[in-house]
Structure 1
């Protein structure tokens, strides 16, 4: 069953219950697509959403809302989310989750997702490589959908570091990279076992890898830092606040100039960021009112590279601009 796209044909309301059961059974087989850690979960049916991980109750609420949503919503999409609701209620019945649903406070374990120290920028480790597999590693990982940014073979070892994009899509790909190796019994625990089989082993780089002796630890310490997910979110928020403040200041400059002259000074027009270019979308137009005329400004005319922020979504920038005008 594909989670990335809808099937070609839809189903009728009478077939919904059967389809929900099918989705539920599939999730029981592929539980790694839902559970990220003891505290974090993801929706396998909405891979394109900005929010990639949820607390248990938040994901349950999301799945319930979609499953009981508008009648205009695709029935299969609703059925998949109802299957997710059934799976979460029937199979993810751990004590910690039951306490959370009951509204009680659960002390997070240091091993749980929000407190884990990851190597930042997001990196993965691939071990037990031979010469041929190293040369084909980036192509292989790309074909498997993990979108690696770079591969760094480590000298005098059979390991390589996989660098992912610095944004949340990079984190998502790193997590899915690790989960696939774990499901195939080629994760880190399998690699560290007394004896392991042939083939590649892979996992996301964390604090123990960062602090390890040898070429792996040296590379990670030289090229990354240790951060929790919360640390990364805080950094993105800090950069976002700076961006919003700067854009607001420039918009005010434009307003003042329009009120004063009825038009934009060419130097300001050429140097100021006045919008963002949304990929695969027609240019958006904003109307500036002045006493003498209306000034129409094309969003896509300028986009300074100084405001390309890691993990930032252009759609959000456009919403900020619209709200500021």
Structure 2
């Protein structure tokens, strides 16, 4: 080999040996820190950061990583540097790199955490939060306006429109103002809608404070007897939501009751959900970064392997081979340690499977016990089914009896209708005979005045007319006798129909309830619920249930008093008709004491008693068509009973 070539080869070998020596030094430094020593090194570097030996925060309020000084970017913001340090600390990097970056992340979290000021929205909410955290408001936020000026025009009350009221309240940013109307017109009340957010709550509280500062709030409305013509206003709460009338109806239809803390918790839950979603996205990004780092490590490893292959080709340094063998032994030792860990995990899994098998055996035994219980329940159900079949047969017999009774009553009614038609025809014939008799009598009188007894022709005609008159009179007497017989039969049929109605009322009381189209209504009976509602409003301090029972019983007894006759007679459509005397002293005192609803219930019961039982003045039962709000005919009742019986029969057949 030439001398120049030898020197060139020695130069290459010297460069390679220098590279290998640098790799050896690095590997020795990195081998000094193992995975078990990461926590100790993390504490060491954290103490250096805390003592100020390592600088993290720049003078321009940015941050830098003291362990990545070779990188160009040293102007992180707080969140980016925290994410950088946390990501490398959880990666597959070398132990020393992971320890240093974990120390930086801990220092950022514990010693340099940024304090964030509360949002403007929360500050606003705290400033307007009520003292009682459990106080319920109507949400979406609503305000109430009462005593709005009204004017009676064209038979109805009118007032300012919702848009006009909204313009007057523009300082509080209302979304809409609803004017409340009823059958009389504008009620003088309105409901103001505010936005659903906390700004809307602030506007609503400002709306209420405005009226309270002017002494036109809710407390002033309740305390004053003379309220004047000014408008009163407040924010809708629980008692307004549950109040009767158009205000309560509107609030219940368009809102719910919620506390401020409930809404704050709901907003907090939404924020937590958003944070969780962002955290999951960050986690996905971190995983992607770890994958990139793994690929980077794989690429680095492949380059290292290529260098090792080059070193093997050179094969010039036996010491390097020894070190590689030493690294291989360390790698094998780590593999053995990992295999030992896997073996321990397999043993623990095997123990868990054994415990699970025991649990499954106990569950199988429990299933056998449950199976025996199921068989016992099945036998009990069989006994119950047999009892139900017997009851069904008895019910079928009762249904057949009802059907037979209904058919008989139907035939009797048809016969009565035929008799009524026959009576009408006979009445027409009777009236026709009476008319003919009167005509004949008139003709006889005319004949007598027209000629004397000597005129044989006139006399003959008079004799003929006398015979005809006699025959007509005899025919009329026979018809009257027949009519009397038919009248007796008709009265008997009417009595039978009334008896049939009474039997239907008595026998079908349970079937014909108020919930069906055809039912039994007790005419003249007071509704206790009306008294109960009135007592809850008028006597909140007493027991409203007991008070309502006492008052209802008292006025039911008053209705039975025969010498109390609060009626007056009017002429309607050419006929006399009795109506309630509104100026009656008892009724007026009742209206002042318990209100309009109770007054209407008592007057309605009086009219029913006067119509259906004027002589007795006590409650009577009547077949009633609830769909058309009138007295039900026997035909309607029979058709309804047949329909119900057929429906029940189909359901029983389906079972």
Larger CA Rg, structure 1 vs 2: 2
Q: TM-score, normalised by structure 1?
A: 0.44
Larger helix share, 1 or 2 = 2
Q: TM-score, normalised by structure 2?
A: 0.23
